[in-house]
Structure 1
Amino acid sequence: MFGIVRPCTHRLGERFKAEWMAHLCGLCLALRGDHGQFARIVTNYDGLLVSVLTEAQSGPAPGTRRTAGPCPLRGMRTAPVANGEGARLAAAVSLVLASAKVRDHVADGDGLLARAPIAAAARKVARGWDRAGARTGASLGFDTAVLVDAVDRQAGIETLAGAGTPVLVVTEPTETATAAAFAHTAQLAGRPGNAPALAEAGRYFGRLAHLLDAVEDQAADASAGAWNPLTATGTSLAEARRLCDDALRGIRLALREVEFADAGLAHRLLVHELRTSVDRAFGTSGCGHAPTASAGQGGGPYGAGPYASSPYASTPHGSGNPYGGSPYGGSPYAPDAPHAPGGPGMPPPPMGPGGGGGGGRPPHKPRRGLLAGCAVALGLFCTCQLCCTEHEGPWSREKKDPWCDSCDCGNCNCNCDCGCGDCCCCPCDGC
């Protein structure tokens, strides 16, 4: 998967997680249905925005969802997926832009593509994707020539760009391509009046996609001697961040001009999640689900020591303990205290010391043996469940997050300035 909008499912909440997965799976299945199994490798997080915008304008309608069969990436579960013109347009756009990415890697001689036979095969695949995307686009009234033209102009612009060239000259082809794709969703949804505002949002989104890709790749490009727009034009990271923040504001303002039937997911992705993507690219955000090094020198939530920077680090009760200097001090829940579990002030736990009838721990699953665990691990790996869905550890049998789940959600500090009123699409209670 690739793309700049990679939302953490913890942040999306159940409603938006289900909708987002429906569009992602719908894009994947539209690629398979129109272009064969191999085309599914171009499924990407940004392409599904075309499907999301189409449905956000037209609203739910009969036939916009269908039930897909079991898939390893969903833990072998069925699910409702997006179905219709929005998903097919997203597939066409994804094919053409993936073709551009392949040709760009071939031109740069990246990795195995530096070898002539492999580069020739990659170019052939890219040409096939161009033709396939054009066929699907034509059936939807969308001329993919504007995308292909933008891709073709990109190489020439990069050749001429140098120190002092405004970086926005380099991002223009990407902006033009995404503006055309976003604007066409208005035609598919039957709301042609939305096209100018969506084109503006698409232009800013293309700028963000190009700049964030450049920021994330700059160090690797420098070490490999590859061309990078920021390095080539002498654009500083501070200037790149300013341009990204300006693009975020432009998208937010453009979306206010769009008439939506249900703006929830589109707003969530293009306003809130895009801001998180910018923070992630510039290294100004972290995950709130696990302690990180930035939380303290020792990696814990309060710094190097067990109470460093804790609200109880220097309390009047001493020793960082709110109940006194001893390990338990005057705590009413200390062992043998009146309110300790099993103490004189508390009723006995139900069904014995373990509290099996109420508050006890669920029974612990026994660990699997070596051979049984290896068999389970092989099955999880071959069905992609290790990478893509929550699963049970092969040996420990504990719940594990997918390897590819790059959770970066921080504590929710919305500070909504997006004009969404009551923060309709933010999972927190208010701003």
Structure 2
Amino acid sequence: MFGYVKPRPDDLLVKEYAFYRAAYCGVCRAMRRETGFFSSLTLSYDIVFLAVCRMLLTDRHTCAKKCRCIAHPCRAKSCLTENEALTFAARVSAVLSYEKCLDDKKDKGGHKLRALLALPSLRRASRRARLPFLARETEECLSELAVLEEQNTPSIDAPAAVFGDLLGLCFAEGLEGEEHALFYEVGYHLGMFIYAADAADDYRADKKSGSYNPYVLLYPDGKGFDDGIPDEVKTSLRLSLVKLGEAIEKLPFKGDASLENIIKNTVYLGLPDRIDLLGKPKNKKQEKLYGGKHDRSL
């Protein structure tokens, strides 16, 4: 997962944004430690959001230290350590990246070549993740998506629901009872939004290449996609965020203001900001602020 699920930094307290950045570095280091250096190259803001959400279930006694890495060899940065949510997110990311790579291997062109080159390293990372049940569920969901794509399904809801199910399973992995239900609901509605948003963002590219995209089938004349996306698509995306907002309000924040503010900032401010940029060319400042392209298939 790449790029959409990021907070709006200007509306976080300084200490909250510092915590978020330390969590990002913490997930990266956890990926290198748990599933290998190559897996850390797949790090995304979406996985960091998963880690922050799952921190609600830990004892929340997080530790931070100054760390250096290949990306920042000269300047040490704060990095969260000793947190099981970071380890969990790293392992989930390895599974998703490997299963996505297997799916890309079936494609033609550049995606297939990149998948073939990355496959051995991602296979090792997935094995080290030790999440066989999630791996099977991920494979099944991606197979369902592939069938819908082969059938040229003219519906955004059907494939988005499958992707939502996949993220719901990721968020709820290893949980039981009420906790499983709460975190599955968050992941499900987030996945629905991500799939639909990315399909809208990719409209022109997919129409040109002939790739499957529900919106290309629903809007064959391209009306509303000349500079951005149609208003009705924006409205639909905002409605999906309403459901996501209802889901996060049920999470067990337990008075942890920093985690609560980061999560709510992401859902109520960061994701709506992305809607306004969909389908438009982004300058360097926007790319830095909101992240890179997201691939809805993982």
Q: Which category of TM-score, normalised to the shorter sequence, fits these structures?
A: 0.7 to 0.9
Inter-partner Cα distance in structure 2 for 1:225 and 1:218: 10
Q: Call closer, same or farther: CA 1:403–1:70 in 2, change over 3 Å.
A: farther
Aligned to 2:127: 131
Secondary structure of 1:406's match? Answer: helix
Q: Call closer, same or farther: CA 1:131–1:238 in 2, change over 3 Å.
A: farther
Inter-partner Cα distance in structure 2 for 1:152 and 1:128: 22
Q: Kindly, what percent of the aligned residue pairs are identical?
A: 21
Matched, 1:240 2:233: yes
Compare the two structures and name the one with the higher helix fraction: 2
What 5-or-longer segments of structure 1 have no aligned partner? 288-401, 409-431
Inter-partner Cα distance in structure 1 for 2:104 and 2:242: 31
Residue 204 of structure 1 deviates from its aligned partner by 0.8
Residue 6 of structure 1 deviates from its aligned partner by 3.3
What 5-or-longer segments of structure 2 have no aligned partner? 225-229, 291-298
Alignment of 1:20-59 (within 5 A): 20-58=20-58
Contact 1:22 1:80 in 2 (8 A): yes
Aligned to 2:172: 183
Deviations 1:150-191, CA, capped at 9 Å, x for gaps: 1222211211233xx32111112211111112224766xxxx
The structure 1 residue matched to 2:117, chosen from 108, 121, 143, is 121
Matched, 1:225 2:210: yes
Alignment of 1:309-388 (within 5 A): none
Residue 46 of structure 1 deviates from its aligned partner by 0.1
Inter-partner Cα distance in structure 1 for 2:115 and 2:213: 21
Residue 86 of structure 1 deviates from its aligned partner by 0.8
Aligned to 2:199: 214
Q: Which amino acid aligns with 2:3?
A: G
Q: Which amino acid aligns with 2:266?
A: L
Q: Call closer, same or farther: CA 1:178–1:268 in 2, change over 3 Å.
A: same
Residue 246 of structure 1 deviates from its aligned partner by 1.5
Residue 24 of structure 1 deviates from its aligned partner by 0.9
Aligned to 2:272: 275
Residue 271 of structure 1 deviates from its aligned partner by 2.6
Inter-partner Cα distance in structure 2 for 1:213 and 1:110: 21
TM-score (structure 1 length as normaliser) = 0.57
Matched, 1:107 2:96: no
Secondary structure of 2:212's match? Answer: coil
Alignment of 1:159-178 (within 5 A): 159-162=150-153, 165-178=154-167
Inter-partner Cα distance in structure 2 for 1:91 and 1:68: 20
Aligned to 1:376: none
Aligned pair count?
277
Residue 106 of structure 1 deviates from its aligned partner by 3.6
Contact 1:6 1:277 in 2 (8 A): no
Deviations 1:287-316, CA, capped at 9 Å, x for gaps: 9xxxxxxxxxxxxxxxxxxxxxxxxxxxxx
Q: 4-13 or 213-222: which moved more?
A: 4-13
Inter-partner Cα distance in structure 1 for 2:188 and 2:149: 19
Residue 52 of structure 1 deviates from its aligned partner by 0.4
Contact 1:179 1:206 in 2 (8 A): yes
Inter-partner Cα distance in structure 2 for 1:173 and 1:405: 28
Give me the CA root mean square deviation. 3.1
The structure 2 residue matched to 1:249, chosen from 239, 242, 245, is 242
Residue 39 of structure 1 deviates from its aligned partner by 1.2
Structure with the greater alpha carbon radius of gyration: 1
Deviations 1:254-312, CA, capped at 9 Å, x for gaps: 122222122222222223212222222255xx99xxxxxxxxxxxxxxxxxxxxxxxxx
Residue 244 of structure 1 deviates from its aligned partner by 1.2
Residue 233 of structure 1 deviates from its aligned partner by 4.9
Q: Call closer, same or farther: CA 1:26–1:234 in 2, change over 3 Å.
A: same
Inter-partner Cα distance in structure 1 for 2:109 and 2:286: 23
